[in-house]
């Protein structure tokens, strides 16, 4: 729990302090606040395999925060909001599920109790599967947002993500 609070706090600081390079997740519009964006980012950073890669795959919040620069149409904006409303709650559910399994691994690893290797192996394999599914769901959401853009909007997006080339 303390680790999750620390990750949430660090994610919030990163969002607030990142000025030279736009974060792929961006800040969250007030209408999306109930989706627990800090929790989503904390889950991604603590439970998913490739959180660093997500910095170059912009998430829905990035698109919404840069809607003017990207020139998003009302239809594009609505589609991106639908993606966000799907992926953000799912991220939290996946993170909670993975957290439960990790707590069970910790319990089974406790040297005060008998070692149950077969159960431990199954749990670790399941954690890997769930993390991989969560990563894939996020990559798919990021790519779904990207597919909504016109070629000119994609060029603008790349200039926002990689301002120095």
Range of the structural domain that residue 62 is part of: 2-161
Sign of CA dihedral 72, 78, 84, 87: negative
Q: Which of 24-28, 45-49, 144-148 has the highest mean pLDDT?
A: 144-148
Choice among 26-35, 63-72, 94-103, 133-142 with the minimum mean pLDDT: 26-35
Number of domains within the chain: 1
Q: What is the pLDDT of residues 89-125, one digit of tens each?
A: 888 889 899 999 999 999 999 999 899 999 999 999 9
- Give 47's pLDDT tier (boundaries 50, 70, 90): low
Compute φ and ψ for 19, nearest 5 degrees: -115, -30
> Quick check: 26 pLDDT over 90?
no
Query: Could you give the maximum distance between any two Cα atoms of the chain, in Å?
Result: 61
């Amino acid at each position: 729990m303390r680790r999750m609070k620390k990750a949430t706090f660090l994610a919030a600081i990163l969002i607030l302090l990142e000025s030279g390079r736009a974060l792929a997740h961006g800040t969250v519009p007030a209408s999306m606040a109930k989706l627990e964006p800090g929790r989503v980012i904390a889950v991604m950073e603590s439970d998913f395999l490739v959180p660093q890669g997500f910095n170059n795959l912009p998430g829905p919040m990035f698109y919404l925060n840069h809607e003017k620069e990207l020139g998003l149409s009302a239809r594009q904006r609505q589609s991106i909001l639908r993606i966000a409303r799907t992926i953000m709650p799912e991220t939290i559910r996946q993170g909670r599920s993975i957290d439960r399994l990790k707590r069970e691994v910790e319990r089974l690893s406790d040297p005060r109790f008998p070692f149950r290797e077969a159960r431990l192996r199954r749990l670790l394999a399941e954690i890997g599967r769930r993390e991989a599914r969560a990563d894939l769901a996020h990559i798919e959401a990021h790519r779904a947002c990207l597919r909504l853009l016109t070629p000119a909007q994609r060029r603008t997006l790349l200039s926002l993500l990689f301002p120095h080339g």
